[in-house]
Amino acid sequence: MEVINTISQIRKTIKEQEKKGKSIGFVPTMGALHQGHISLINRAREENDLVVCSIFVNPTQFDNPEDLKKYPRTLETDCTLLEAAGCDYVFAPTAEEMYPTLPKLSIDFGNLEHVMEGKFRNGHFSGVGTVVAKLFHIVNPDRAYFGLKDLQQVAVLRRLVNDLSFDLDLIPCPIVREKDGLAMSSRNRRLSDDARKIAPQVHIALQKAKELLIQGKSSTEVKTIIEEHLHSFPELKAEYFEISDFDNLEPIPAMNNEGQTAICTAIYLDGVRLIDNIVF
Ligand code: AMP
């Protein structure tokens, strides 16, 4: 496995491989890797000749400087995990390499900007859209793999790929969870031992909401019940808990009988922002 830090070097390497007819699977990450990320590498490994993983904590998608500062950075252990998983190239640029000057471009994803994550993280998806577009131009993959853990990100990037005609397949991959149901996340390592014990309540609340919707309760009723349930854990502070249409992520009054329903939440615990969702 080769670790590459510059745009010119990764471009040169990939062009050489493309000339040999090799297909490229790409997994963009912000590092601090866990088995959720590795599941994307494994899928990319199965479906492509070569696997490229990028590790870049993208400053332009953080609206909270403290969160950016605290974001875990563990390049050495990440590389050990990636090598064991059969990754071929790691692209790990510095912020200066990616942004010699700060981008002026801002991408507006329409209604997707105004719901859930978009509502609470100003400019987040514009930052995600810009960095992923840059990475797609640099790596030129045949397939790019993203986790459904970040459901809204998948929706935004699907728009990016369609609207800008990127010549690649965007492959959404299932959420990988700890044994107790907590969705794996780089942020989990910031939880105290006590908070870690409470953290599975996020997934439990989503499952409970799903059951209630299936029983025929309205979204408003379900939200009230879940709010009450979460009140028994004062450490959990829900930022949002939304019941939405899976395709357009607009709120829906009850379970979607035509298409799929997505229940998405962001909950603060111990100063850590946990996001999770369930689709059915
Ligand atoms: P991040 O490093 O958090 O930006 O995540 C990089 C990619 O890994 C994104 O496509 C995430 O959705 C995906 N990912 C993160 N956590 C998980 C998980 N628990 N299961 C599946 N995919 C994940």
Is position 230 within any domain? yes
* Distance from residue 79's CA to the centre of ligand 1 (Å): 16
Give pLDDT tens digits for 190-213: 999 999 999 999 999 999 999 999
Is the CA virtual torsion 166, 162, 101, 60 positive or negative? negative
| Residue owning the nearest CA to atom 13 of ligand 1 | 147
| Residue owning the nearest CA to atom 14 of ligand 1 | 147
With pLDDT > 70 as the criterion, what percentage of the chain qualifies?
A: 100
34 is catalytic: no
Question: Tell me, what's the pLDDT at 181?
Answer: 98
Same domain membership, residue 195 and residue 133? no
Domain CATH code at residue 230: 3.30.1300.10
Strands, E assignment, 190-260 = 236-245
Q: Which domain holds residue 162?
A: 2-173
d(CA 94, CA 100): 10
SS3 content of the chain, % helix, strand, coil (to 5): 45, 20, 35
Q: Is the pLDDT of residue 149 over 90?
A: yes
Averaged confidence pLDDT in the chain: 96
Q: Is the pLDDT of residue 265 over 90?
A: yes
84-105 burial by CB neighbour count: b if 16+ within 10 A, else e? ebebbbbbbbeeeebbeeeeee
* Distance from residue 122's CA to the centre of ligand 1 (Å): 20
What pTM value is reported for the model? Answer: 0.96
Same domain membership, residue 196 and residue 140? no
* Distance from residue 218's CA to the centre of ligand 1 (Å): 31
Is position 180 within any domain? no
